[in-house]
Amino acid sequence: LFAEAGVQTKGNKRNQVLKIGHGGTLDSAATGVLVVGIGKGTKMLGTMLAGSKKYTAIGMLGKATDTLDATGKVTEEKPYDQVTKGDLENVLQKFTGDIMQVPPLYSALKKDGERLSTLMKRGETVEAKPARPVRVYSLSLQQFQPPLFTLDVECGGGFYVRSLVNDIGKELSTCASVQELTRTKQGPFTLEEHALHEDKWTIDDIAQSLEHCTALLLGEPARKKLKTEHPGETAVICE
């Protein structure tokens, strides 16, 4: 980004000031919205992303994995022929509202400063975290083509869709795992309106994206000069 913007850094890393931070991890196999703060925008992420998140998840009945998704090793297989669309819709009601949820072992949660997923990959023994309260604002079945089913989920922070699908499988007297997961909304940002795809990660496209996001920030200016140590250097921030 510095090279594309024509910023002369002269090899001094202390002068290469461009703060970038993200507003919450995505599962390694997931796609969709990941909000990124640039410059002073990094300090706004906590406030900006206090709202709900939305996901579209494709689950598979009859197969469980150690990661609770398609990237893991199969740990269990059970018949699912007895499950009907009505059964699935009825079960979803049990997972709507304020519920208790056990986070996955493969997750970004930490033990002694390291992610549980890192410890698991090293083969270390990891105890499951205790169930904790989470909130599901809405949960609906969009498609049912056994063994696959598609869910739309709107939830609060700390919620794991992988755990949800795993719990749904158990509730149906079978097992289930996530095959595809897409985050469609995070806070006020949506996949359709605000996502900047990888082929557009250029200075000009990023600047245009920041301007587009300004409408969500109560009329604050999209562009503002950030003080730099060299005259003529300018950083574009979203605040």
169 in Cβ contact with 162 (< 8 Å): no
Q: Print the SS3 string covering the chain.
A: CHHHHCCCCCCCHHHCCCCEEECCCCCCCCEECCCEEEHHHHHHHHHHCCCCEEEEEEEEECEEECCCECCCCEEEECCCCCCCHHHHHHHHHHHCEEEEECCCCCCCCEECCEEHHHHHHCCCCCCCCCCEEEEEEEEEEEEEECCEEEEEEEECCCCCHHHHHHHHHHHCCCCEEEEEEEEEEECCEEHHHHCCCHHHCCHHHHHHHHHHHHHHCCCCCCCCCCCCCCCCCCCCCCC
Whether 87 sits among the annotated catalytic residues: the reply is no
Query: What is the rounded distance in angstroms from the CA atom of residue 168 to the CA atom of residue 173?
Result: 9
- 27, 69, 81, 167: the catalytic one is 27
Which residues does 185 contact at the CB level (< 8 Å), separation at least 6? 33, 52, 53, 54, 154, 191
Joined tokens for residue 170: 């158990």
Q: Which residues are catalytic?
A: 27
